[in-house]
Amino acid sequence: MAIRTTVFRGLAYNVLIEEFHDQDSAGHLVAYLASIYVETTSGRHLVRRSRLPGAAETLRREIERDGIRVYRRLVCT
């Protein structure tokens, strides 16, 4: 069982991605959950959850490619 946390820092708020994945002894994926939060001065708000493996990596690539537009899409939806 492993939990991986990634933080993308912004001027007004941060995007926090927590990934949980568990594998059996043979290396097969047993469970996966990615939780995406927006952190502001008032606290942390859950934006989206996904059980699809690789969802957090897709979001990372979008943030690196599109920058602030991804932040706006996350907060406005």
> Is residue 77 predicted with pLDDT exceeding 60?
no
DSSP state, 25?
T
What pTM did the predictor assign? Answer: 0.74
**Cα–Cα distance measured from residue 36 to residue 56, given in angstroms and rounded to the nearest whole number:** 8
Report, as an integer, the average pLDDT of 41-70.
82
- Within 8 A by CB and 6+ apart from 17, the residues are 5, 6, 7, 8, 34, 35, 36, 37, 56, 59, 60
Instruction: Please report the pLDDT score of residue 57 as a whole number.
Output: 83
List the domain boundaries for the chain. Answer: 2-76
